[in-house]
Amino acid sequence: MNNKSPITILSVRSLSVNYGTVEALKDVSLEVKDGEIVAIVGANGAGKSTTLKAIVGTLKEYNGRIVSGEILFQGKKINGTPPYELVKMGISLVPEGRRVFPSMTVQENLEMGGYILVNTQWSIANKKKLFVNGQSSIKKLFVNRYSSMDKRGSHSSMVNSQSRITNNQLLITNLAKIFDLFPVLKERQNQKAGTLSGGEQQMLAIGRALMLSPKLLLLDEPSLGLSPNYIEVVFDRLKEINKQGTSILIVEQNARKALEVCNRGYVFEIGGIAFTDSGENLLKDERVQKAFLGFGK
Ligand code: ATP
């Protein structure tokens, strides 16, 4: 963790969430400081995923709602902000179950993660056509687009063109970074995502979330369904991503692994947070050992 800037990047204050009449979360407060890896662990049904859904603004899809409390990202209240706005602000989610686009290639999946930067004025139809036509190389796509803009030569198109070139470069740079982090994705860049193994799909989902250089990466159960080998790889890569400057909040069933890599952890019990401490201390805590690490049973 970067100790130089202990600024709070995410702050959840006294959050209560209901699904209909079901009280899923009651008065939950937690924070992620800049440069930290924070883990949320705890019992099934304790509200871990609900906390993430509240942060990323997807509660409505599940008939849930924030009853009280607030969520701040870099000091700005984000309650109810839609996911696409959060992405622009610097929050990316790696959802439970990866949700890669199975019929698209690895590279196309990664490009989808960078869409917002391409050109927000493009029509949805154009975007669809883009992928139907299988023009998957970011370089080819965006460089072609810029040269046609340049030919028009008006001041505004040149300004737009300039910003697109910057975006283009950012996407190309990020794609290269992701391939460095996950060399297997480079090897498989033309393979359909649906044919990847679970571990490879998880790496792809993480890579896709990194395409816009998020300040905060949220992960819902990244180890779910992975072999022990892949769990090691995924958590090792998360440490590397964090080292490169991204703060991370992980919701995880695999308490041992999450607590091993995190700076701090929150242990949830039904409806709220039971206790919190450094990952190191939580691993030694008898309550955690008994309930989640298989000790003393
Ligand atoms: P798990 O580790 O089993 O995924 P969790 O800690 O992530 O559990 P949540 O999924 O956040 O827990 O669920 C918290 C509570 O809210 C549970 O009692 C659950 O049954 C309830 N809940 C979750 N989603 C809904 C929903 N869409 N409608 C009604 N109740 C829900």
In 3D, which of 268, 267, 263, 233 has the Cα closest to residue 247?
263
Pocket test for ligand 1, best of 12, 48, 58, 65 (most atoms within 8 A of CB): 48
Q: What is the pLDDT of residue 2?
A: 47
C-alpha–C-alpha distance, residues 79 and 6, integer Å? 23
pLDDT at 173 > cutoff 60: yes
pLDDT band at 43 (very low <50, low <70, confident <90, very high): confident
Strand partners, 161: none
pLDDT at 250 > cutoff 80: yes
**pLDDT mean across residues, the chain:** 81
In 3D, which of 246, 174, 214, 233 has the Cα closest to residue 88?
214
Would you state the torsion angle of the CA atoms of residues 216, 220, 171, 153, taken in this order, to the nearest 10 degrees? -80
Q: What is the pLDDT of residue 291?
A: 82
Q: What is the pLDDT of residue 17?
A: 96
Q: 56: Cβ–Cβ under 8 A, 6 or more apart, which residues?
A: 83, 86, 91, 93, 218
- pLDDT tens digits, 176-231: 899 999 999 999 889 898 998 888 999 999 999 998 889 999 999 999 888 888 89
Q: What is the mean pLDDT of residues 46-57?
A: 93
Terminal Cα-to-Cα distance of the chain (whole angstroms):
34
Domain 1-98+212-297, CATH: 3.40.50.300
DSSP three-state, residue 64 = strand
Determine which residue's CA is closest to atom 1 belonging to ligand 1.
Answer: 44
Within 6 A (CB) of ligand 1 lie 19, 22, 24, 44-50, 62-63, 253
Chain region(s) in the chain for CATH 3.40.50.300: 1-98+212-297
